[in-house]
Structure formats: structure tokens, C-alpha cells
Structure 1
Amino acid sequence: MIIEVTDLKKNFGRVQALKGVNLTVDKGRIVGFIGPNGAGKSTTIRLLLGLLRKDGGKAKIFGLDCYQDAVEIHKRMSYVPGDVNLWPNLTGGEVIDLFIDMQGEDPKSSRKEELIKRFDFDPSRKCRTYSKGNRQKVALIAAFSVESELYILDEPTSGLDPLMEREFQALVKEQKALGKTVLLSSHILSEVEQICDDVAIIRQGEIIESGSIKDLRHLTRTQFIVEAVEDLDFSECQGVYDVVKDHDKWYFQVDHRHIAGVLSYLGNYQVTKLETKEPTLEDLFMRHYEGDAKGGV
């Protein structure tokens, strides 16, 4: 196990930011860490990085305490924040070399040049001239140029265009193929769904759902779109929700365990067309946050 978080608590004055977070990340897995602003994602990551002292529980990486052994942990991992601040008078290339050197590797022997080409990045410009997307490229190139066992990525594609987002996703998949481990915090649910093996959803300082994406999809409802000659009546049919009729089409959702029963029930009608849509990670996410107030610290 690479990351092990048990009953992790953190308070900021009277505000309880983390209320007992439990999170595990196994070797070679890509884990999506999702939740809205204020849910506790960044606080959890800062505790993992040793930037904050916990108020309770345990946080370990490589079996080492995240706060007491932060220096040893950072020798074996790479981190990319969601808002990168750079030295304005240095060039992008100089900053990348500095970061690689701080990890104890030789910039000349790293894969820096390959990544600069992949991300279509100009390393000769001063950092003060870079857009947000280019600042993110500096951090990504530096992080993936070194040999790390663990990558902690906090909103890493913020500011990148869609083409560069795809390049990032390909890069993460390559790291998994090499046996590396990734913890990815992101609000882009489609990105998490495409590249992650597992997902952990945090809400108001607590992990409320975790597991493989495949398994979690089973907890959501499948969307049905049905056209029929006569009106449909689901009053005696279990597991059907949110029935809406639009002209000759019926839209409704079905709990996974009741799909067979609903299909059998539809056999009583003259159905002319039937479509189903598999649940997405967004469906699961919205199920938990529907009706919640937005915002937070």
C-alpha cells in the first residue's frame, strides 16, 4: 500500500475541515480524488505532503509518517499543484532544470526534452510571460521528468487546452504501465473517468464513497428512453424513478438491481424503441451533491 490515511482530522479554528478521512491507494493504481470546493481535497493533500500538521488520525506514504518523514517521502514522489507560482525572472527551462536537480537527478539525463516536445512548450521564455496553462506545463514536465514512485496531482490540467489534456492523460497511463502510483485530484469528472482505476468522493470533510469506478457505477441508476404505442404506467413497478413523458418518448431511471424486472414489465406494452445509457461518474457525483449548497474554503 502506497498511501494509507486513517481517521484523519484537521481543524482550522472552529471549522472542522476533515472529520475522519479514510483513504488507501495501492501500488500501481490511479485513484481519482473528487469533490467540490471546500470538501477537503486540498487540505487532505497538504497533510499528505507534510505541509500541515494533523489534529488526529494517521497519514502515511510508503509506510512513513507524512509530517515527521516528509523529507524522505518527497525524495520518492512528485507533486503538481493546481496553481503554479514560478520565479518571474527565470526561464521555464531554468525552472524545470532546478526542480529536476532538487530531486537529485541530472536534467541532461532526464526525459525533459521529450516532454517539452510533447507539451509543445517553449522553455526559453521568462516565466513572467507565461499563461496559466504554460505554468502548469512547467510543473508537469518537471514532475514527470524524474523517476518517482508516486505522483500526487492536484487539479494538474487547470489552464491546459483539450489537446494538452489528452497528452497529460496519455502520460499518466504510461506511468501506470510502468507500475507507478497516481493520486489525482480533479473536478473534471470525464478526465477521472477516463484514466482512473478507483475513485474516492469527499463531502464535507468525509469520504462518502470509494472503490473501483466499475463497481461504483453499479450504485447509480441507468437512464431509459422508451417509445411506446400506449401510455406507460409504472405505479406497480419497483426501482423506477424520475418518469418524464415528452411527446411519444418516456424518460426514466432504473436502479441497477431492478433492470431485469423493468424490462420484463415493458414486455406488456407495444414498445417501438428502447435505449439505455450507462451511468457515468458524473451521475454518481451528482447523486451525492444534489441539493447541497455550493462554495466553501
Structure 2
Amino acid sequence: MTLTQETTLVTAADVSAAAARIAPFLRGTPLLPLPGERLWIKPENRQPTGSFKVRGAMNAVGLLAERGVEHVIAQSSGNHAQAVAYTAGRHGLRATVVLPDTAPELKVTGARRLGAEVVITPPALREVTCLALADRLGAALIHSDEFDVIAGHGGIGLEIAREATRPATILVPVCNGGLLAGVAVAAKSVDPAITVIGVEPELAADGAASFRSGHRTAWPVQQTYRTRADGLRAPVLGALAWEHIRRYVDNMLTVSEEGIAAAADLLWERLGERAEPSGAVATAAYLAHGANLPPGPVVAVLTGGNVSVPGEGTLGSAG
């Protein structure tokens, strides 16, 4: 998939429209200062279903419901699945989600509790299984980096840009890039001087490799699945997300597994915020690279908190 026309990209107007559409379903997430640091945390772990994913899913599912769709399907490592299940339930739609057999039980149980039919498959078969089921069931497929999902996620960038002292640096976890794409479009529309940086685990750094080379680069699933950050194991950036990233994102950073664990522990100990490993990588980037970031405030997006007990970011705990 190659996109070249500007008209195919999400705009600031698309993000604003999505933000207004989904506002009644969201919880407010303020910027939380980390004492003694220039770091602020955007706690999207406080959203319904425990992650930012509800923003994009609510926008996409809501628009499909308006068009008369009755059944939606998605494949996910866990949080997108829960978000699709939750939003489908709010709109009275049937939901099917495909999860890898490595997904944390908390996320599998959560999707079922929210009313979705859950299909478990080996990680490498997630996409093909989902496509086959969508065709057989006649369900509308919701990709986690499709246009309406990116537009929904962009509200995070709008909120940060309007609340933070500008110019700021925003650190954003990266899986297939849908969140980073939305945040970058929205934040740059408010103030082009804002620096937007994507963050990945060193063990799943296909996005960073893409950014450095200028070409979308895939990593084998067996490599990306080495990281404990289960929500960031996608082997390649989404094609649409990549088009936004290469235009609007300023840099990509990577963090170690030890750094992710330390960041999750710090968020719990200093702020009382649960962070799953995937949700802690932006804070980990500040801890590892803060001295090299631009002057001024830094905002790290805490994308999710779906862990069964505080401290699950620590090495040696279940991932």
C-alpha cells in the first residue's frame, strides 16, 4: 500500500471533528507533573478499558454504526480488542476480536467481559485469520491505524498542545504508528514548533529503522515478540500511519527492557499510576534520553495500564 496524495492524510479538521464526536465517551486525562523533573505525564491509562485505544475505536465504530454496520472485527495484541469490544457495545454492535496466544490473560478476559467473541491464534496468523473471518462473517474490519482511528487518537495531541507550555516535546509509544501519526498531525497543527518523537523498545524497533532509512521496514515477528511490551510488537508500521510519520514526526528513540521496567515502577511509586510495559516506554525514553531532548517541558503519553497488579513493569514479572 503506497499513499502519495495529501488528501488521503488525516487533517487537523478531521481530528477536531473526531474529538467532538467522541468526547461524551471519554474521561479527562490531565497533565501530571513528575516532581523534580521537567516531565509531564498524559495518563491515558485512565480511559475506559484502561488505554488510549478507546479514542480511535470509538470514532471508527461510531461512524460505522451511523452507516448501518451491525458487526465489527479487529485483530489486536489486547488493548485495541478491548476498545473495539467496548465501543461496539456502546453502539449496540456485535464484535469479534482476534488475539495472539501470547496476549496477557487480563486483556483476553477483558475483551470477553466487554461482550466480544474472542478468537485466539498464533501471533503470525493474526492478520490472515482476521481477514478470513471478516469475509466469512460479513463484518467491518477496523484496522488500528486506519484513517478514522488515527483521527480519534489525534485528540491526545490537541489536548497536550493546548495545555502544555509551548514549545514542548511529546514522547509517544509506537506500535503500528497510528497513535504517533494522530498526535503529530494534531500537535503540529496547534504549534509547528512542538517536537514529536516516537518511542519503541530496542527489541521491536522496526519503526525506528523505518525512520532512519526513510523506507517502511518490517521486522520478523519472532524478533518483535522478544519485548515484554506486548502492545508494541507489531512487525511493521501501518502504511497510512507511516505517511503521516515521515511528514510530521521529528525523531524516533528506542529504550531497553530494563528501562521500560524502571519507568513503570517509577510511575507507580511517584504518581500512583499503573503502567503496562507498553505504556511506560515514553517515560523510559525521558529517563534514558532526557539530557538530549530539546529545552522546555516534555510530555510522555502513558498509553495503557492494563496490568493485574502495580509493579508489573518490573523485570521478572509476567509480561
TM range (shorter): under 0.3
User: Which of the two has higher C-alpha Rg?
Assistant: 1
Q: TM-score w.r.t. structure 1 length?
A: 0.24
More helix by share: 2
What is the TM-score with the length of structure 2 in the denominator? 0.23
The answer to which structure has the higher strand fraction is: 1
